Chain A
């Protein structure tokens, strides 16, 4: 079983829709949770960064973490064609050394249709 599971999609939605992207994980030691956006043939770009459980909002993006369920989500409101990309969840533990490395989900490919 992978430490982080993410539905690979592809997910296709009309412009203006609300998009929900999700990841589940098995390692209860994960404390930091991130969402990256990756355009085709580009490096990942950090979108959202949260620590432990709770919600965080940044413009059209909202990240949710539910540690009790080991479940994280990214919501995109009023989705735009420019949001079309692969979205990767990532997480890591709080301790030092190699635990600072990120564990990535497999990524969800999103297409927003105009």
Chain B
């Protein structure tokens, strides 16, 4: 099956710094990638959708200047949390889909961000 990886799996950073999270589709071309945020014991909340080569579409309430998303290639998308604050601490999960092939959406293993 299709594999999506994320790096790093866990990161701790100081308040005010920026953190970049990578999402890669390892064995397929991801025409669309999604970024989700998940708080403990809660469901996934979609933050943004990005199509390769286009600007990301952000969900209502998500600050696009704070959560920078780049989908520059068909196998890589990055989420940069700028000027991180403790309230940004969460589990960030990406997913990817090749809509030309399948409706299925494959999820990465997630990145746990802790801002101190």
Contacts and interface: CB of A to CB of B under 8 A. Distances in A.
Nearest to B34: A101
Interface residues of A, number: 21
Interface stretch (A12-20, A59-67, A76-84, A104-112): A104-112
A45 interface: yes
Interface of B: 4, 6, 32, 34, 41-44, 46, 49, 57, 91, 93, 95, 97, 99, 103-110, 112
A110 to B, nearest CB: 13
A44 interface: yes
A114 interface: no
Interface of A: 6, 8, 32, 36, 41-46, 49, 88, 98, 100-102, 104-107, 109
B41 A104 contact: no
B109 to A, nearest CB: 5
Given A101-B49, A106-B43, A45 B107 contact: yes
B49 A98 contact: yes
A8 B43 CA distance: 10
A8 B41 CA distance: 9
Q: Indicate the member of A6, A36, A44 with the most B CB atoms within 10 Å.
A: A44
